[in-house]
Chains A and B, each alone.
Chain A
Amino acid sequence: GESVGLHLPTLSVQEGDNSIINCAYSNSASDYFIWYKQESGKGPQFIIDIRSNMDKRQGQRVTVLLNKTVKHLSLQIAATQPGDSAVYFCAETPDSNYQLIWGAGTKLIIKP
């Protein structure tokens, strides 16, 4: 697989604690948002999505919060595990086209 040595914002979290990864999106017209996880040497993998008519959505150990007023998206990971170590990307889709607009990513490091 491939990986990229990105100079990214980094979040270090103790194993077992909750992680919160934040993302500011750019387009107030965006109506769909996705969080992706990219492990070292792999392509991005879908985690969870949310539409603009919602402000919260929960998955397995993950929750996405959307604040349209300030154009802010967050990903909460409960009881962080070593396998959660990865780069996390938010992506948005404006209503007018099919393209995803990607954020630069946040690197999550789990401390034992």
Chain B
Amino acid sequence: DAGITQSPRHKVTETGTPVTLRCHQTENHRYMYWYRQDPGHGLRLIHYSYGVKDTDKGEVSDGYSVSRSKTEDFLLTLESATSSQTSVYFCATTDRGRGMNTEAFFGQGTRLTVV
């Protein structure tokens, strides 16, 4: 899995609690992404990062925040978890720039259940 580690792998949390998911990479890739995967939707981009402390919103960013204080770590935080955020979360990295190869490497996912 190209040196991408997600933690935790499984999480059950209660509605209203904060949750942080971590993505750690050893590839020194500049770009990192957080996706969620739900039945019938494929993968949807939550947030992405194009460098340390440089992040931007994806198509489903409401209720999520991210931080990237160093190249290898990208954190996804649910400030106050809701049942609609029950999903499988994937982190991905690329070394792409515009016009370059955009092949992304994915972690193995985190299954989050909000009860």
List chain A positions with a Cβ less than 8 A from chain B.
1-8, 32, 34, 41-46, 49, 89, 93, 98-100, 102-105
Q: How far is the CB of B10 from chain A (nearest CB, A)?
A: 8
Given A2-B88, A2-B111, A34-B103: A98 and B48 interface contact (C-beta under 8 Å): yes
Q: How far is the CB of A90 from chain B (nearest CB, A)?
A: 9
Interface check B53, CB cutoff 8 A: no
Interface check B74, CB cutoff 8 A: no
Bound: A8/B43 CA distance, A: 13
Bound: A6/B88 CA distance, A: 12
Contacts A2-B110, A43-B1, A44-B92 aside, 18 further interface pairs with beta carbons under 8 A come to A1-B108, A2-B109, A2-B111, A4-B37, A4-B39, A6-B39, A8-B40, A43-B107, A43-B108, A44-B106, A46-B103, A49-B102, A89-B43, A98-B31, A98-B102, A99-B45, A99-B48, A103-B42
User: Chain A binding site: helix, strand, loop or mixed by DSSP?
Assistant: loop
The answer to whether A104 touches B40, judged by C-beta atoms less than 8 angstroms apart, is yes
Neighbouring A residues of B44 by C-beta, 8 Å: 102
Q: How far is the CB of A75 from chain B (nearest CB, A)?
A: 15
The answer to whether B38 touches A4, judged by C-beta atoms less than 8 angstroms apart, is yes
Neighbouring A residues of B45 by C-beta, 8 Å: 99-100
Interface check B50, CB cutoff 8 A: yes
